[in-house]
Amino acid sequence: MDAVEMIQNRRSIRKYRNEKVARQTMQEIIDIARWAPSWANFQIARYTLVDDEAVIAKLATDGVKGFVYNVKTLENAKGVAVLSFVKGKSGKLDLEKDEYATSKANVWEVFDAGIACQTFCLAAHTKGVGTCIFGVIDEQSISEIVGLPEEETVAALIVYGYPDEQPPATKRKDTADIMRFV
């Protein structure tokens, strides 16, 4: 599968087969995802992989603010990646100073996490593993459930597994509607 096919064919998957993804496969996915670009190559993205059903159940009850679509997906999930990032690095040129290099300040942390998230999902797709990114989350609760280090914060939950559905592509805006030349 080439890069264009990968981007065009990857879908958010909410229904998975009743089968765990092997830890070795997940390690291979993270090995690919670690190549995601980041501010000054600080590589702030971290992946906490959860395949314990009791912990996933706790994420469903306490980690997604009762958002029904996320709860239902987690109730049947066999794997969840907690994507987090190390705070206080992206956006700085000198880590010894508190000042940021741009007016976006620490927003670059979220930008870097987004790049890492997409790279993770595309890497999973190449291995036949489906993913769904959750944004409606309770960062503090998730952090406590999985025991994140204090210097990290949760960016997103990514449910993963072997797809039990093949959703069609959703309509996209025309290129002319999203592009301009100056």
With a cut of 90, say whether residue 145 has pLDDT above it. Answer: yes
The identity of residue 69, as a single letter, is Y
Which H/E stretch holds residue 73?
A: helix 68-75
With a cut of 80, say whether residue 12 has pLDDT above it. Answer: yes
How far is residue 28's CA from residue 108's CA, in Å, rounded to a whole number?
26
Pairing state between β 45-50 and 130-134: unpaired
Summarize pLDDT for 96-131 with one digit per residue, the tens: 888 899 888 889 999 999 999 999 999 999 999 999
Q: State the pLDDT at residue 6.
A: 83
Query: Please, what's the b/e burial string for 44-81 (b: 16 or more CB within 10 A of its CB; e: otherwise)?
Result: bbbbbbbbeeebbebbbeebbeebeebeebbebbbbbb
Q: Is-above-0.85 flag for pTM?
A: yes
Q: How would residue 1 be classed by pLDDT, with cut points 50, 70 and 90?
A: confident
How far is residue 115's CA from residue 71's CA, in Å, rounded to a whole number?
25
